[in-house]
C-alpha cells in the first residue's frame, strides 16, 4: 500500500470512528446514526461514449466505445456529520482500437479513458458550524471557472483529490476555501500506478460578491508533487466573472483572469510566466454570444501549465493543447450557444446548440499553430437522460509542428 492510500484510509477510519463513538458531537437532522443511514441517498450514473479520433500525427484512427458507471451512497446528516462513498468503473466495449495512454497502442489516436475500477469519492463531511463545511477524504474540487482546479468531468474518470477541504461563508459576502491535499488522482489513475500522485498541495481561494453582479476571487495554488516535480508550481492570481442584467431578457456577461506562476518546491526549472484571460459578450432569449482572448506564456523551454485544471473547455475540444506548448499559447476565440426549452413535447425538455471558433499561435515568437472549429448538440430527454453529439476539427498551420486532428463524440448519459 502506498503512502497516499494509507493516509486516505487512515483519515476515513478515524472520522468514521469519531462519528460512531461520539454521539454528543452531532447535529439534529437525524435522531441516530441508524436513521442517518436509512435517510441517505443512492448515487448512480452511467455514461456510454463513442469517440473517434483522426490524428494525422499517428498511423491509425482511435475508436473507443467506453462505458463509465458510478455507484455510491450518501448518508443523511447526524449532528452535523455525513459520509459518502462512490466507486467508478470504466470498461471498453468491443475491440480496443485506441491509445488509452497506458495500453501501448501508440499507433492509434489517444482517447484518455483507460479501463479500470477506482474509489471515486470517499469522504466524511462536517457541517455543524454555521455556513461552514469541512470535508476529509477523497473528493472532487472545482474552483472558479475550472481553468486551474477542476474535476475534469468530460473524461470518463474524474480527477479527484485525497484532501481536507475547509469552506466557510461565515463572513457576509465572502467565501473562504482552503484545501490541503496529499494525493492527486488523474483521469488515467483507475487500477494503475500511472496517474496517481503523492503530493503536498495547498489550495487557497477567497471570493466575494460585494461588487454588484460580479464575483471576484483571489487565489494561491501551491503545488508540491513528490514524483512529478515539473508539476510543482506556485500560481497566484485573481479571477472575476459576472452578468449585468439590462432587462428581463438581455444581460451582459464577462469573465477574466490574471495569474503569475513560479517554480515550486523541488522544481529546478526556471518558471516565471503570466496567464491572461478576458472574455465578454451577451445573453438574450436563450442565445449567448462571447468573444475572448487568453495567453499562457512560454520561453521555448518551459511554459505556464495548469496540472489540476481542465483545458478542454478553454483551449479547444480537440485537446491539442491539454499541455501548454513550450513557446506558450495565445488563443483568440468566439463562442455562440442557443438553449431551446421545450414545453409541449413529452420526454424532451431542451436542446442546446454550441459552436466555437479558435485561432491559436505561440506566445513566444508568434508562430501560427492553427485554428479549430467545435460544434455540439445536447438533448435533455428528461431529468434522467441526456444525449450529446460533439465534433472538433483542428487544422494545423503549415509552419507549426502540430498535425490536423478531428474528433467526434456520441454520448449517452443516465443519472438518478
- The DSSP line for 376-412 is EEEEE-SSSEEEEEEEEEEEE-TTSS---EEEEEEEE
Residue 124 has pLDDT above 80, yes or no: yes
Q: Work out the average pLDDT over 196-224.
A: 97
Residue 370 has pLDDT above 80, yes or no: yes
Q: Work out the average pLDDT over 232-250.
A: 97
Q: Which residue has the higher pLDDT, 190 or 51?
A: 51
What is the pLDDT at residue 399?
A: 81
The x, y and z cell numbers of residue 313, run together, are 473547455
pLDDT digits (tens, 9 = 90+) for 285-329: 999 999 999 999 999 999 999 999 999 999 999 999 999 999 999
Residue 126 has pLDDT above 90, yes or no: yes
What is the pLDDT at residue 12?
A: 44
Residue 109 has pLDDT above 80, yes or no: yes
Contact between 337 and 353 under an 8 Å Cβ cutoff? The reply is yes
Q: How confident is the model at residue 6 (pLDDT cuts 50, 70, 90)?
A: very low
pLDDT digits (tens, 9 = 90+) for 216-232: 999 999 999 998 999 99
Residue 256 has pLDDT above 90, yes or no: yes
Under DSSP, is residue 172 helix (H, G, I), strand (E, B) or coil?
coil
Residue 98 has what DSSP assignment?
A: S
What is the pLDDT at residue 157?
A: 95
What is the pLDDT at residue 343?
A: 84
Under DSSP, is residue 218 helix (H, G, I), strand (E, B) or coil?
strand
3-415 domain in CATH 2.40.50.100?
no
Residue 24 has pLDDT above 50, yes or no: no
Residue 128 has what DSSP assignment?
A: -
* Average pLDDT over the chain, rounded to an integer: 92
Q: Work out the average pLDDT over 263-278.
A: 97
CA distance 136 to 13: 11
Amino acid at each position: 500500500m502506498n503512502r497516499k492510500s494509507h493516509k486516505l484510509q487512515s483519515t476515513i477510519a478515524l472520522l468514521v470512528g469519531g462519528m460512531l463513538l461520539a454521539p454528543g458531537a452531532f447535529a439534529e437532522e437525524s435522531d441516530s446514526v441508524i436513521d442517518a443511514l436509512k435517510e441517505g441517498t443512492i448515487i448512480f450514473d452511467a455514461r456510454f461514449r463513442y469517440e473517434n479520433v483522426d490524428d494525422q500525427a499517428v498511423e491509425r484512427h482511435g475508436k473507443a466505445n467506453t462505458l463509465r458507471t458510478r455507484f455510491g451512497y450518501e448518508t443523511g446528516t447526524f449532528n452535523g456529520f455525513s459520509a459518502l462513498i462512490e466507486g467508478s468503473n470504466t470498461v471498453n466495449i468491443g475491440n480496443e482500437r485506441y491509445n488509452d495512454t497506458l495500453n501501448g497502442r501508440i499507433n492509434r489516436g489517444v482517447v484518455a479513458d483507460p479501463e479500470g475500477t477506482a474509489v471515486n469519492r470517499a469522504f466524511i463531511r462536517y457541517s455543524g458550524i454555521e455556513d461552514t463545511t469541512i470535508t476529509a477524504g477523497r473528493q472532487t474540487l472545482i474552483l472558479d471557472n475550472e481553468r486551474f482546479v477542476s474535476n475534469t468531468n468530460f473524461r470518463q474518470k474524474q480527477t479527484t483529490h485525497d484532501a481536507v477541504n475547509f469552506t466557510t461563508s461565515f463572513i457576509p459576502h465572502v467565501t473562504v476555501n482552503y484545501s490541503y491535499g496529499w494525493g492527486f488522482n488523474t483521469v488515467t489513475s483507475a487500477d494503475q500506478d500511472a496517474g496517481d500522485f503523492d503530493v503536498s498541495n495547498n489550495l487557497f481561494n477567497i471570493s466575494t460578491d460585494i461588487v454588484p453582479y460580479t464575483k471576484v476571487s483571489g487565489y494561491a495554488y501551491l503545488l508540491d508533487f513528490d514524483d512529478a516535480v515539473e508539476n510543482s508550481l506556485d500560481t497566484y492570481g485573481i479571477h472575476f466573472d459576472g452578468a449585468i442584467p439590462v432587462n428581463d431578457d438581455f444581460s451582459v456577461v464577462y469573465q477574466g483572469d490574471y495569474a503569475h506562476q513560479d517554480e515550486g518546491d523541488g522544481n529546478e526549472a526556471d518558471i516565471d510566466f503570466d496567464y491572461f484571460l478576458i472574455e465578454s459578450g451577451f445573453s438574450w432569449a436563450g442565445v449567448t454570444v462571447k468573444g475572448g482572448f487568453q495567453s499562457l506564456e512560454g520561453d521555448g523551454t518551459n511554459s505556464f501549465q495548469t496540472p489540476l485544471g481542465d483545458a478542454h473547455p478553454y483551449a479547444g475540444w480537440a485537446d491539442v493543447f491539454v499541455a501548454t506548448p513550450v513557446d506558450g499559447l495565445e488563443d483568440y476565440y468566439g463562442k455562440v450557444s442557443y438553449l431551446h426549452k421545450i414545453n409541449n413535447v413529452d420526454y424532451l425538455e431542451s436542446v442546446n446548440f454550441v459552436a466555437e471558433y479558435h485561432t491559436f499561435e505561440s506566445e513566444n515568437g508568434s508562430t501560427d499553430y492553427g485554428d479549430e472549429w467545435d460544434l455540439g448538440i445536447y438533448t435533455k430527454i428528461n431529468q434522467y437522460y441526456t444525449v450529446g453529439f460533439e465534433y472538433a476539427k483542428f487544422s494545423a498551420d503549415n509552419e507549426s509542428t502540430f498535425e490536423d486532428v478531428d474528433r467526434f463524440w456520441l454520448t449517452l448519459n443516465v443519472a438518478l
